[in-house]
């Protein structure tokens, strides 16, 4: 199994092939905000990298492979700054900022 869900963390493991992109996409769409653990990922097809980039998925653990870790990973980190992902704006039409903006109100 190359795409494994554990709680709210998606693990990509071993050689991830093009067909895994769809599984990964589904896991991300089920619950936006899930992060991905790449520590066991040896190879990643471009299609998976594209999904991670497009949805600005937070990367929770870096892969061991030097190409993935040193060359590819920085691209995810550049794109995963919070607050402007297409996913979040899709899910929350009032703006992903609602969570970070001031919310005032008198309680009980």
Q: Which residues bind another protein (CB under 8 A)?
A: 18, 21-22, 24-25, 29, 35, 43-47, 49-51, 53-55, 58-62, 67, 71-72, 75, 79, 81-83, 86-87, 90-91, 95, 97, 100-108
C-beta closer to another protein: residue 13 or 80:
80
CB of 31 to another protein, least distance (A): 13
Nearest-angstrom CA–CA distance, 64 and 25: 23
Q: How many CB atoms lie within 10 A of CB 65?
A: 16
Burial class (CB in 10 A: 0-12, 13-18, 19+), 79: middle
């Amino acid at each position: 199994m190359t795409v494994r869900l554990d709680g709210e963390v998606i693990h990509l493991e071993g050689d991830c092939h093009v067909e895994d992109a769809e599984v990964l996409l589904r896991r991300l769409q089920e619950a936006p905000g899930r992060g991905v653990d790449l520590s066991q990922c040896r190879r990643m097809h471009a299609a998976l990298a594209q999904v991670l980039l497009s949805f600005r998925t937070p990367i929770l653990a870096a892969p061991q492979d030097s190409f993935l870790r040193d060359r590819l990973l920085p691209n995810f980190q550049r794109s995963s700054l919070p607050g402007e992902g297409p996913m979040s704006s899709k899910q929350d039409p009032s703006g992903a900022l609602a969570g970070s903006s001031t919310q005032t109100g008198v309680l009980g």
